[in-house]
DNA sequence: TATGAATGAGCGTTCATTCAT
DNA sequence: TATGAATGAACGCTCATTCAT
């Protein structure tokens, strides 16, 4: 019961903050907006999290786990290595066309965190290293793991290109290069 | 006389703001810091620029022109199309290793501007369209302009990958893919 | 006209803050109370003063000048050195009996400023050094300036004793010792 | 068992709070810091003490008993009345030179307690009345008890003078006056 | 009794912008 | 046109205390 309540507060904050951080950005989201939209009192928020940055970390971890899962699922729809990789890019193509898609959770954050927020940067790097590893794991069976990072660079180019141009073509272009590479 | 002064004020603000926006980010840089470090008084700043966003626009335009120039110069060091393209990536490799390099000016900004700042987003898109066009112009003579956008996606992947991992390898990996593609 | 307004804001803040700092203490007085009772808007206050501590400094300087003046006046009512010194203690006796007297401005502050507020402590020390100097200057003509610090210690004992016991007797006792010493 | 635990909690809180109140001041020490550094959970603290002020009272009483003891010990090192009194000031001279000395426990507090904290002020007065009584008791055998309060004022002047000037000379000066008086 | 969770009020400070001259 | 002064709203965070279990 106690934990339920604590968790409900934490969850509530993380859920609200996640939505706001994602839609508006970290800097453009104030603690006050988080408490208003979550209904959690300010001091309770600061009992659950010591700083705004800690909320950001929770957001990154939550979104990170979901992203890992989604990418793996997309890959595992296929059996052959090349299809798995292409499956990831197919997933991206669908993803970026969703109307509530505002770009990659992690790339959105990385440019607006202050210099001294090394923990945040490290977490994002860690998340992205997971994607590199995913590609490497898929490609190892066909002895093409040395292509993992090249494909990863295309993955990032697809995401940020979509953000800049607000269009699907960067993802499609990246997929096409992957298709040629493998 | 007046115009000189006005222009010197504008330049002064743009120079200072550019440095700060680039090093700290747009949101992490306050108007007060800009006036302190530029020596321009606050109301003069607001005579020269109507909003903070206008200063941002001036920064993007200034940095954009310089970037265009630098990329063209890097390409024009070579004569053959493929070499020109690779020359651009070679330039990136050197660029990201400079100690005062904090990432791509434009990708740094795009994620932290508020939703309603369509002008800013449009400007960044325009800037990046210039890069696509550059690749297309280089590749047209050898009838490979349809690869321009694929190479552009690698260009962006290189930049943002460098930002995330704080390392040169994403740029090198992107260059390698370009080498294979052409 | 401009300066009038600026000064009126500064003066207004200093006056209000002085009263509140003196009556309630520095820590027990919030910026919000200062702005409410002075009528000055919060951001105007922070244009005039960079920090709360700066307001404290202005208070100490203002009160310090007034105190210096009052002590000198009290001393100069007399011509003989001993009478001058006793005059200072007579002034104290009257002072501490005033109904709006809450103790020495400076001793009130010294114990509640944080460790790192060295500027504040230095200012208080400087103020008190002025009192020591006053006694020394009075006593030099009769070649008793070596007693200045002993009398100064009695001066402080009188003030803090009055604060602790909320009574005039510590001042009277100090005066009596001075009478014996000279 | 329960009482042991309760007492250990009380002692723990008092010890931690005493250290913090003394080193940082009452206002500059928050309940949160006390619970963090004592390891006692917040609600247990509020079971043992009803308010922060009650903790302050416990601190004053504890420190008061220790101070009484120390002063008596210092006096009883001697047999003659004058020596006893001078012994107290000798003790002060050593005391204020200790590196973890931050001023008189009681004078440190008196200026920063809110107006309405009459209990606290009364306790401090009571503590200091004990010092006056000590001097009186020492001086009664030699029929000089009428000097007790004059010596007490010097005692306070020594302490607060040391606080202001961060130096031993005020204590030495006070001792010298005592020497002359007796 | 003991406690983990929750509270509302307030902290000092900074934001981008506008006004009066 | 240029400027020093002024603005209201919001910032992230901490306070001493109380509640439900």
Q: Does D57 touch chain C (CB under 8 A)?
A: no
- The protein residue nearest E4 (Cα–C1') is A2
Chain segment B131-172, per-residue pLDDT in tens: 999 999 999 999 999 999 999 999 999 999 999 999 999 999
Chain A span 8-27 residues with beta carbon within 7 Å of strand E = 8-9
Distance A55 CA to E14 C1' (A): 22
Question: Are D121 and D164 members of one domain?
Answer: yes
Please indicate whether, in this complex, the C-beta atoms of D170 and C163 are within 8 angstroms of each other: no
Output the pLDDT for position D2: 46
User: DSSP 3-state assignment of B166?
Assistant: coil
Output the pLDDT for position A6: 52
List chain F nucleotides near protein: any atom < 7 Å from a Cβ.
1-21
> Which range among A3-12, A54-63, D98-107 shows the weakest confidence by mean pLDDT?
A3-12
Residue B44, both tokens: 């003069």
Please indicate whether, in this complex, the C-beta atoms of B153 and A165 are within 8 angstroms of each other: no
Chain B span 46-85 residues with beta carbon within 7 Å of strand E = 46, 50-53
Is A45's CB less than 7 Å from nucleic acid strand E?
no
- The protein residue nearest E15 (Cα–C1') is B30
Chain segment A96-146, per-residue pLDDT in tens: 999 999 999 999 999 888 888 999 999 999 999 999 999 999 999 999 999
Q: Among C28, C49, C70, which residue terminates a domain?
A: C49
Question: Are C34 and C106 members of one domain?
Answer: no
> Testing the interface with A: which of B157, B163, B170, B179 to mutate, by most A Cβ within 10 A?
B157
Q: Does C128 touch chain D (CB under 8 A)?
A: yes
Closest Cα in chain A to B149: A173
Q: Does C25 touch chain D (CB under 8 A)?
A: yes
Chain D span 18-57 residues with beta carbon within 7 Å of strand E = 41-44, 46-47
Chain segment A10-68, per-residue pLDDT in tens: 999 999 999 999 999 999 999 999 999 999 999 999 999 999 999 999 999 999 999 99
Average pLDDT over residues D169-176: 98
Question: Are D23 and D107 members of one domain?
Answer: no
Chain segment B89-113, per-residue pLDDT in tens: 999 999 999 999 999 999 999 988 8
Report the residue from A114, A150, A170 with minimal CB separation from B177.
A150
Output the pLDDT for position B1: 39
Distance of CA A89 to the CA centre of its chain: 15
8 A C-beta contact, residue B153 and residue A169: no
| DSSP 8-state symbol, B150 | H
Question: Are C2 and C29 members of one domain?
Answer: yes
User: Which residues of C are less than 8 Å from D112 in CB distance?
Assistant: 25, 27-28, 111-112
Mean pLDDT across chain A, nearest whole number?
94
Average pLDDT over residues D153-170: 98
Q: Which residue did the predictor score with more confidence, A81 or C111?
A: A81
Please indicate whether, in this complex, the C-beta atoms of A161 and B176 are within 8 angstroms of each other: no
Question: Are D60 and D38 members of one domain?
Answer: no
D52: the nucleotide nearest its CA (via C1') is F16
> C-D interface: how many C-beta pairs under 8 angstroms?
137
Chain segment B24-49, per-residue pLDDT in tens: 999 999 999 999 999 999 999 999 99
Nearest to A75 by CA among A162, A157, A139, A8: A139
Please indicate whether, in this complex, the C-beta atoms of C27 and D165 are within 8 angstroms of each other: no
Please indicate whether, in this complex, the C-beta atoms of B150 and A174 are within 8 angstroms of each other: yes
Question: Are B118 and B157 members of one domain?
Answer: yes
Output the pLDDT for position C95: 98
Report how far apart, in Å, the C-alpha atoms of C36 and of each of C16, C33, C112 are.
Answer: 10, 5, 23
Exposure of A142 in the CB half-sphere (CA atoms within 13 A): 14
The CATH number that applies at residue B124 is 1.10.357.10
8 A C-beta contact, residue A85 and residue A178: yes
Range(s) of the domain holding residue A132: 52-181
Q: Among C30, C49, C68, which residue terminates a domain?
A: C49
Please indicate whether, in this complex, the C-beta atoms of D114 and C24 are within 8 angstroms of each other: yes
C74 pLDDT above the threshold of 90:
yes
Report the residue from C27, C110, C153 with minimal CB separation from D157.
C153
Distance A93 CA to F7 C1' (A): 48
D169 pLDDT above the threshold of 80:
yes
Average pLDDT over residues D15-20: 96
Closest Cα in chain C to D22: C111
The CATH number that applies at residue C26 is 1.10.10.60
Nearest to A97 by CA among A20, A172, A174, A17: A172
Which residues fall within 8 angstroms of residue C66, CB to CB, at 6 or more apart? none
List chain E nucleotides near protein: any atom < 7 Å from a Cβ.
1-21
Question: Are A69 and A146 members of one domain?
Answer: yes
**CA pair distance B61, D171, nearest whole angstrom:** 69
C88 pLDDT above the threshold of 70:
yes
Please indicate whether, in this complex, the C-beta atoms of C111 and D114 are within 8 angstroms of each other: no
Output the pLDDT for position A46: 93
Question: Are C43 and C63 members of one domain?
Answer: no
Question: Are A44 and A56 members of one domain?
Answer: no
Report how far apart, in Å, the C-alpha atoms of D99 and of each of D95, D102, D166 are.
Answer: 9, 8, 11
| DSSP 8-state symbol, A143 | T
Question: Are D71 and D27 members of one domain?
Answer: no
- Neighbouring chains of B at 3+ CB pairs under 8 Å are A
Output the pLDDT for position A1: 34
Domain count, chain A: 2
D1 pLDDT above the threshold of 90:
no
Q: How confident is the model at residue C3 (pLDDT cuts 50, 70, 90)?
A: very low
Question: Are A143 and A115 members of one domain?
Answer: yes
- How many other CB atoms are found less than 10 A from the CB of residue B36? 12
Residue C151 backbone phi and psi in degrees, to 5: -70, -35
Q: How confident is the model at residue B59 (pLDDT cuts 50, 70, 90)?
A: very high
Question: Are B108 and B147 members of one domain?
Answer: yes
Average pLDDT over residues A147-168: 98
Output the pLDDT for position B6: 57
């Amino acid at each position: 019961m106690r934990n339920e309540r604590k968790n409900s507060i934490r969850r509530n904050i993380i859920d609200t903050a996640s939505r706001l951080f994602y839609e508006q950005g970290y800097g453009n989201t104030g603690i006050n907006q988080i408490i208003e939209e979550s209904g959690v009192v300010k001091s309770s928020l600061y009992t659950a999290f010591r700083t705004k940055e800690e909320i950001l970390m929770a957001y990154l971890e939550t979104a990170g786990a979901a992203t890992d899962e989604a990418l793996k699922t997309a890959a595992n729809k296929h059996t052959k290595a090349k299809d798995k990789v292409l499956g990831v890019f197919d997933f991206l193509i669908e993803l970026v066309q969703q109307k509530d898609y505002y770009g990659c959770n992690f790339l959105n954050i990385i440019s607006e965190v202050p210099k001294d927020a090394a923990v945040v940067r490290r977490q994002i790097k860690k998340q992205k290293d997971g994607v590199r590893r995913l590609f490497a794991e898929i490609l190892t069976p066909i002895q093409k793991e040395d292509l993992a990072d090249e494909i990863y660079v295309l993955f990032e180019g697809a995401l940020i290109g979509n953000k800049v141009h607000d269009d699907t073509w960067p993802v499609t272009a990246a997929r096409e290069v992957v298709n040629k590479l493998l």
